[in-house]
Structure 1
Amino acid sequence: MTGLSRALAAAAALVLGGCSGWQSALDPHGTDAARLASLIWFIVAVCAIVWILVVAALVPVLLRRRAPRPEPLAIDHAAERRMTAAVGLSIAATVVVVTVFTLASFVTTRGLGAAADDDLTVVVRGKQWWWEVEYPDPDPANVFQTANEIHVPVGRAVRLRLEGDDVIHSFWVPNLAGKQDMIPGRTNVLTIRAERPGVYRGQCAEFCGLQHAHMAFLVIAEEAPAFEVWRGRQRRPAATPLTADQETGRVLVETRQCGACHTIRGTAAAGTTGPDLTHVGSRRMIAAGLLDTTRGALAAWIADPQTLKPGNLMPLVPLDPEALRAVSAYMASLE
């Protein structure tokens, strides 16, 4: 990438990525994203050339003085022929440009999403308003779920099976791939391949309700050994409480409404409505990108989720200060 294109990509990242500064289709870190970025730059370059040519042809015409005609109603056949030729040439050039754009788009998109039998498969379900992420395995004991966070190995194609659970969502991680809709009752497939380690922000790109803007996720690309370590940890049951506060929090989670909506493997909590919380303390963020994962943020979310994210499906569970402290301590320990 040239210095100019890097500068333009950085400027576009600030616009497209908001405060994050690194969510941009013009800063590709994946194979498919690089192809799409090349297509974007090609289209921008051709459009810039067309604009320059149009302005170059228009300026002399605007600045030229016309001599008054001796007969105002007389037809200037030479001028008519020139105008006809100019219009015909413009139409032909438009057809050529549109045809070239169509062919370039076809060639670029035809190669996207190529998958092989040994690709890693991850199931992603869009919900209002969070992302359920499941890692299938032939052995049911090795299947696990997480939320709003997708870990992938660097340099390996990952086949994402995208499903909509309630309304139409759209999965988009611009640094790695293009958009793909998630439609209830239908499974779409998108293949991503991260070429270097990093944390890439994704976003729902289809208006899906009140909290659509607060429906982000992270794709964390790691070297293969680090990914396998992470996957091994995720397959384990929840950590055993180590303090009195954590033990009290575990009991409260199992006996209050929490356990009816959330799963914490290795405990009596086995709900399926909300995210799997078995390793929630190891995630970088909660509430689909609304808050960083800290004990304080967990306590704030548990205390009043409707104020922080109005309309989400998590109800307000009344807890006194001591109970809230215990539950937040237990949640933070689940790493």
Structure 2
Amino acid sequence: MNFKFIALIPAVILGGCVGRQSVLDPAGRDATTLLTLFTVMLVGLVVLWIAVNGMMLFFNKLSPRAYDEAAARKLIVGGGIVFPTVVIAALLAWGLSIMPDQRAPGDGLRIEVMGEQWWWRVAYWPEGAETPIVSANEIRLPVGARTEFTLNSAYVIHSFWIPALGGKMDMFPGRDTMISLEPTEAGIFRGQCAEFCGASHAQMAFEVVTLEQADFDAWLTAEAADAVVPESAVALRGAEVFQTQGCGACHAIRGTPAVGQVGPDLTHVGSRESLGAGILEPTIENIAAWIAHTDDLKPEVEMPAYDNMNADDLMALATYLKGLK
């Protein structure tokens, strides 16, 4: 027997309990509540399973003997019906009592998220704001504050899920749903669409950055600003390529003539933690690869691949986009 292999099994199993996309490694008040719910339910059901099956083992194998009808009826009704019903009812009542907290109102900030094909349209509404701060494919949240999400979908059903911060909420075309989350620690986590939505469902993810309140306020102020003006010759050339290739028909870059609303807002795309809705690191090389081979990297995505662009223009465009911070 390979004991080294056996010794590795617990390490592999426990390795799946931590990480930035694990429900067993919570970083938010709601995720902690759900983990507590899971743990209590699991313990209760294990106790129930052991009790019921223990009785069956005891009376059938360890102490088999004849029982009169009255004693047998009490054993079956009490141990097989009343006891499981009481335990399950208690667990259910307690579980339902804590679930309304998952829909508690926010502390002021509201975020609208629209599920697209296959990416995320994001709009921040600070308290009292008349216009939103638009972003895409990334969500940033303040630690210690409850943020309310309004969710919708453009075409099909999606499901909004940040495992380390809270539970899932479905997104329906033409219908708003709501969830609220309260991070308890700063970090970078991963969200995912949890409802099969088409060819690139598995590649419809997003990064979630939780920040201390002061850092979040500074980021939100910067996010509301127009795009930075390119300074290097390569970036300036990339800005020209962006215009001549017609990218502004689909994408918006605030402070420029690009005002497209079809695709993600690119005003600060260079500052995001991922590219292509969570599938690539946002390097210049990956941005160039995304532009040239979009359909290969994300099947059936609506953005066309610009594989006919010459290498110099492609790298200049990627350099310009990476500089939008």
Q: Which amino acid aligns with 1:107?
A: S
Secondary structure in 2 matching 1:269 = coil
| TM-score, L = length of structure 2 | 0.90
- Contact 1:199-1:220 within 8 A present in 2 as well: yes
Secondary structure in 2 matching 1:28 = coil
**Is the counterpart of residue 128 in structure 1 residue 130 in structure 2?**
no
**1:203-244 CA distances to partner (integer Å, 9 max, x unpaired)?**
111111111111111221111111111111111111111111
- Contact 1:12-1:26 within 8 A present in 2 as well: no
Which residue of structure 1 aligns with residue 100 of structure 2? 110
**Is the counterpart of residue 85 in structure 1 residue 74 in structure 2?**
yes
Take 1:23 and 1:36, find their aligned partners in 2: how far apart are those partners? 14
Which residue of structure 1 aligns with residue 45 of structure 2? 47
Which residue of structure 2 aligns with residue 166 of structure 1? 155
TM-superposed deviation, 1:66: 6.3
Secondary structure in 2 matching 1:292 = coil
Structure 2 segments unaligned to the other structure (5+ residues): 1-9
**Is the counterpart of residue 266 in structure 1 residue 267 in structure 2?**
no
Larger radius of gyration: 1
Q: Indicate which of 148, 171, 179 corresponds to 2:137.
A: 148
- Contact 2:48-2:84 within 8 A present in 1 as well: no
| TM-score, L = length of structure 1 | 0.87
**1:255-308 CA distances to partner (integer Å, 9 max, x unpaired)?**
213111111111121111110011110001011111011111101101111111
**Is the counterpart of residue 252 in structure 1 residue 254 in structure 2?**
no
Take 2:149 and 2:190, find their aligned partners in 1: how far apart are those partners? 16
Which residue of structure 2 aligns with residue 283 of structure 1? 272
1:181-200 equivalent positions in 2, closer than 5 A: 181-200=170-189
1:193-212 equivalent positions in 2, closer than 5 A: 193-212=182-201
Identity within the alignment, %: 37
Take 2:63 and 2:172, find their aligned partners in 1: how far apart are those partners? 60
Using the TM superposition, name which of 151-160 and 85-94 deviates more.
Answer: 85-94
The CA RMSD over aligned residues, in Å, is 2.2
Q: 1:13 to 1:176 in 2, by over 3 A?
A: farther
Q: 1:13 to 1:288 in 2, by over 3 A?
A: farther
1:54-69 equivalent positions in 2, closer than 5 A: 54-64=52-62
Q: Indicate which of 266, 282, 285 corresponds to 1:293.
A: 282
Q: 1:215 to 1:122 in 2, by over 3 A?
A: same
Take 2:62 and 2:34, find their aligned partners in 1: how far apart are those partners? 43
Take 2:113 and 2:16, find their aligned partners in 1: how far apart are those partners? 27
Q: Which amino acid aligns with 1:134?
A: A
TM-superposed deviation, 1:94: 2.2
Q: 1:149 to 1:296 in 2, by over 3 A?
A: same
